[in-house]
């Protein structure tokens, strides 16, 4: 058994969740599912912040997570507005079919 | 973390359910099912935050992520009529073998990097003054709030401006011309 901090287990859980999110963001075609995968990646980073802050007796981790949540909420509002607009223009939300920027 | 203690069992169960739910979230064809599994993941992560003595963040996780953001995503899924998973012909857009190999390589490398980093990482930071006892004397919400309005006041203001810009941006983008 490797010399593992108690926090190491949380870091591994966070790594597993981040990898699942990254894999989904690469593989999935539905932009809304890709968006949810990005939210999952943000969440796994939050877990690292909280675990490290708990280990170091600090609240800065919670503050950082608060700001990450703010950014995620703004991202959700603007991103979903963009998806609705794209759906109106293209009648699809498939990432492979949205290729207006292709030269 | 003592794995046989009650806390350890709670964390272990939450972690297993979170990983399983996120795997289901990535693999479900129907976006509604994905969104619902995502909510399960968020709830389990909130439980883990509670065990890690971050009560404010656990509640904010449930309210902001599981409540607001996922509700917004569900609304948009229904708005763009994808309840049945869409009418996409999956054979037409089937990924080539090269893409799949590249994807597997990237995922495996990322996973190994993160796990090795987590396993061999030694925490070297200096311990702060906010121990569990000190925080629980006044409450986690009060501690975080006091810090937000003093030491982190400027980032807090920037975050509020960012929220305002986000609201205006969402309205402007979705306005019919």
Residue B82 has pLDDT above 70, yes or no: no
Task: Provide the H-helix boundaries in chain A.
Answer: 6-27, 31-55, 60-90
Cα distance between residue B86 and residue B88, in whole Å: 6
**Predicted local confidence at residue B130, as pLDDT:** 83
B89 to chain A: which residues are within 8 Å by CB? none
Q: What is the mean pLDDT of residues B6-24?
A: 90
Average pLDDT of B144-156?
92
Q: CA nearest B49: which of A35, A32, A68, A71?
A: A68
Distances (CA, A) of B79 to B97, B123, B146: 34, 47, 41
Tell me the average pLDDT of chain A.
86
pLDDT value at residue B159? 94
Residue B162: other Cβ atoms inside 10 A: 16
User: Using the beta-carbon criterion (under 8 Å), do A81 and B107 form an inter-chain contact?
Assistant: no
What pLDDT, on a 0 to 100 scale, did the predictor assign at position B21?
A: 94
Distance CA B68, CA B65 (A): 6
Residue B170 to residue A81, Cβ atoms within 8 A: yes
> What is the arithmetic mean of pLDDT over B138-143?
88
Positions of E strands within B6-94: none
A-chain residue closest to B62, CA distance: A69
Rounded Cα distance between B129 and B152, Å, is: 17
Average pLDDT, chain B: 85
Q: Compare all CA atoms of chain A with the CA of B46 and give the residue at the minimum distance.
A: A47
| Contact residues on chain A for B22, CB-CB shorter than 8 A | 17, 20-21, 40
In this predicted model, what pLDDT tens digit does every residue of A31-79 receive, in sequence order?
889 999 999 999 999 999 999 888 888 888 899 999 999 999 999 999 9
φ, ψ for residue A30 (rounded to 5)? -70, 120
State the smallest CA–CA distance between residue B93 and chain A in angstroms. Answer: 8
pTM recorded for the entire structure: 0.88
Per residue in B103-121, pLDDT (tens digit) is 888 889 988 888 888 777 7
C-alpha dihedral (B167, B76, B34, B17), degrees to nearest 10: 40
Task: Report whether pLDDT(B90) > 60.
Answer: no
How many Cβ pairs within 8 Å bridge chains A and B? 231
In which element (H, E) is residue B110 found?
Answer: helix B97-120
């Amino acid at each position: 058994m490797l010399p593992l901090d108690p926090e190491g287990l949380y870091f591994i859980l966070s790594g597993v969740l981040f990898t699942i999110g990254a894999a989904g963001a690469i593989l999935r075609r539905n932009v809304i599912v890709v968006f949810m995968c990005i939210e999952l990646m943000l969440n796994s980073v939050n877990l690292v912040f909280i675990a490290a802050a708990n280990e170091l007796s600090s609240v800065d981790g919670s503050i950082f997570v608060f700001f990450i949540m703010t950014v995620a909420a703004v991202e959700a509002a603007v991103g979903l507005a963009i998806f609705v607009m794209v759906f109106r223009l293209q009648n699809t939300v498939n990432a492979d079919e949205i290729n207006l920027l292709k030269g | 973390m003592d794995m046989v203690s009650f806390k350890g069992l709670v964390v272990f169960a939450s972690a297993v359910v979170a990983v399983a739910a996120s795997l289901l979230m990535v693999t479900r064809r129907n976006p509604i099912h994905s969104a619902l599994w995502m909510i399960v993941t968020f709830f389990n992560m909130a439980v883990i935050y509670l065990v890690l003595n971050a009560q404010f963040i656990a509640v904010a996780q449930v309210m902001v992520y599981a409540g607001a953001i996922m509700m917004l995503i569900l609304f948009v899924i229904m708005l763009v009529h994808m309840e049945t998973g869409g009418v996409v012909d999956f054979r037409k857009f089937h990924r080539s073998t090269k893409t799949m190999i590249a994807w597997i390589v990237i995922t495996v490398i990322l996973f190994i990097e993160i796990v090795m980093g987590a396993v061999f990482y030694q925490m070297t930071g200096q311990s702060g003054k906010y121990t569990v006892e000190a925080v629980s004397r006044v409450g986690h919400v009060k501690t975080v709030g006091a810090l937000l309005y003093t030491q982190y006041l400027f980032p807090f203001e920037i975050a509020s401006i960012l929220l305002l810009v986000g609201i205006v941006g969402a309205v402007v983008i979705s306005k019919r011309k």
